[in-house]
Structure 1
Amino acid sequence: MRYREAERAESHVADSEERTVGDESGDERVRRYATAGLFLVTALLFGTAFAGIEVGLTALPPVLFAALRFDVGALVLLAVVAVRGGYWRPLTGADYRAVVVSAVFLVSLNAVLLFVGQQYTTSGAAAVMFSLAPVLSPLFARFLLPDERISAVGAVGILLGLVGVVVVVAPDPTRLLAADAVGQALVAVAAVSVAFGSVLLRRIDPDVGSLAMTAWAMTLSAALVHVASLALGESAAAVAWTPVALGAVAYLGLFSTAGAFPAYFALIERVGPIRANLVTYAVPVVASVTGALVLLERIAATTVVGFAVVVLGFVLVERDSLGEELATVRARLGGRAPPDEADD
């Protein structure tokens, strides 16, 4: 599925880079600017979701709010993949297992924990804690994927990521069971759920495409999260459907879900998964700025420092891949063939 897609994306990127060595044509410049625009749009759509959640939580119960977001997102994404045709629905056992894993860990559990936890923290701090996911993925991969190993430097990177989250949360030892501390912990556990689920998907390696799998996983998740909402005693009948409530559901469902995921997968197709995942670290910046401008949230010094520590952890974990990408970019800027091509 996405891992075979990732290989094709990297191959496509390498071919594009080979063509860009030397003089850059007008079409290539347009493509480069379009890619930068796609990166920005993806970061904006995902980053503003945190402020959207904060706004919606003033009018909606958290778990019901998450379920309604997936109702809207699933309807739009299913329509998109159906219109595109091709391999648009799960067919194999691996496909169905991937949909279930994605629905449980990447969507349902992630959303319930995030929406409940974000009642007790700012949008910027939540986004920084959520950026822990790609730092933790190698830790789960070490135990779930036979060929994966963690170097000493990578282990330090994972520890730094955890330290960064602790800096953001700044826990008070005397109030570890207070509502705000528990809420912040739930956001961090949401990131753990995403990291674990993403590695499980690599282990399953389904054939269905990423966007189609996401659409079906979101459909299943909408049902699961509605059940969770009912189990928690939340009532849609008791909700006052104000413009704020309707606007928050519409924005998250249409833009930060149905718009963000296609943009993200399109970015992977253009630049490959390594560079595309750097958007994870633009999202907290967008979330913090949006929270400050729209919600008048204060950007705490601990949030900034913690974010820097998490990013440093990510750099250590992915240092080899990032080094290869940096060498390729430098070669392109210098008009030379990228290292892999120069060695051929």
Structure 2
Amino acid sequence: MTSYRNVVLFVLLAAAWGSAFMAIKAGLAYFPPVLFAAVRYDVAGVLMLAYAAYATERWRPRTGDEWRLVLVGGALMIAGYHAFLFVGETETTSAVAAIVVSLSPILTTGFARVLLPSERLTPVGIAGLLLGLVGVAILSLGKPHPEGLVTPGFVGKLLVLAAAVSFALGSVLTRRIDADLPIETMEAWSMVLGALMMHAVSLARPAESLAAVEWTPEGIAALAYLSLVASALGFLVYFDLLARLGPIEINLVSYVAPVFAALSGWLFLDERVTLATVVGFLVIFAGFCLVKRRALARELPRLRAALSPGR
């Protein structure tokens, strides 16, 4: 029974996080991008803070290291990641954005080998990292364009890549900070601080203001879906699966989510999946398998046992 529960939750998490890219794209028709991301985490941050107060005994940071932890998480994993992602998605499709973001586990490993003294990148690992970047290049270039490389779509993909870099760097830097803070509390305060940072960025962008928001039913539905389903509910499922399956299996969500991003983008936004999108995804996934080959080899027997029927 437990194995079926894990499979169902894994698929639901991939569906929630994958379809979030479609909801972002849909909501961008009614919200300025950085303000949209900030309001999303105004809602999600308050909900997660309430959950942290309910589920843990440490609902707020206390030491300097704990505040540094949530500051790095808020700046890079929430504000940096989502500001780049939302602006980038104004010029690219849901599926492509999800696939570029799936490079994050590969980039995280690369940053870890550089910034964490206990870890190093082997030649095969370097090949996996380069393969992942080749996958992004395939997605970014696609067919030749008469205007050259620097087209809006190309710039959009580079911004989504910057989002993946920001998240990966934040993941590694938070591991360098020695702070014993529950993950729920860390995520909640990172969301709150990240939302405040994005509001500051939005105020600094001339094209963004509350007056530019169109409070349509579609826009409100996109905001509610991102705040309640993709963020609040998604992270609750994530915390549960992280404890049950571990970080390696959870990383695989990044490679199932693009399938749901493509399906939801096609169903709701009439987005087309190109051959370059499929090939780029497969190349990035191959890079992930190379980078994580040892961890996957260790975890595969346990994962197979956990997911096998009858357990």
Q: Which residue of 2 aligns with 1:245?
A: 219
1:144 pairs with 2:118: no
Q: Distance in 2 between matches of 1:333 and 1:140?
A: 31
Q: Which residue of 1 aligns with 2:55?
A: 84
8 Å contact kept, 1:98–1:201: yes
Q: Which residue of 2 aligns with 1:311?
A: 285
Q: Within 5 Å, which residues of 2 pair with 1:158-169?
A: 158-169=129-140
Query: Can you list the C-alpha shifts for 1:91-141, whole angstroms capped at 9, x where unaligned?
Result: 222211110110011010111100000011110000000101101112111
Q: Within 5 Å, which residues of 2 pair with 1:134-213?
A: 134-170=105-141, 172=144, 175-213=148-186
Tell me the TM-score normalized by structure 2: 0.94
8 Å contact kept, 2:31–2:212: no
Q: Distance in 1 between matches of 2:178 and 2:233?
A: 25
Taking structure 1 as reference, are residues 329 and 79 closer, same or farther at Cα in structure 2, changes over 3 Å only? closer
Structure 1 residues not aligned, in runs of 5+: 1-29, 335-344
Q: Distance in 2 between matches of 1:180 and 1:136?
A: 22
RMSD: 1.7
Query: Can you list the C-alpha shifts for 1:306-344, whole angstroms capped at 9, x where unaligned?
Result: 10000000000000010111233567799xxxxxxxxxx
- Bigger CA radius of gyration: 1
Q: Which residue of 2 aligns with 1:230?
A: 203
Q: Distance in 1 between matches of 2:86 and 2:117?
A: 34
Q: 1:58 aligns with which of 15, 19, 29?
A: 29
Q: Which residue of 1 aligns with 2:230?
A: 256
Q: Which residue of 1 aligns with 2:68?
A: 97
Amino acid at match of 2:43: V
8 Å contact kept, 2:128–2:291: yes
Q: 1:295, CA displacement in angstroms?
A: 1.0
Q: Secondary structure at the match of 1:204?
A: coil
Q: Distance in 1 between matches of 2:133 and 2:212?
A: 39
Taking structure 1 as reference, are residues 190 and 330 closer, same or farther at Cα in structure 2, changes over 3 Å only? closer
Q: 1:85, CA displacement in angstroms?
A: 3.8
8 Å contact kept, 1:136–1:195: yes
> Quick check: 323-332 or 130-139, which moved more?
323-332
Q: Within 5 Å, which residues of 2 pair with 1:21-60?
A: 30-60=1-31
Q: 2:297 aligns with which of 317, 323, 326?
A: 323
Q: Percent identity?
A: 47
Q: Distance in 2 between matches of 1:142 and 1:243?
A: 46
Tell me the TM-score normalized by structure 1: 0.85
8 Å contact kept, 1:175–1:181: no
Q: Secondary structure at the match of 2:176?
A: helix
Query: Can you list the C-alpha shifts for 1:263-303, whole angstroms capped at 9, x where unaligned?
Result: 11111101111112111111111111111111111011111
8 Å contact kept, 2:32–2:212: no
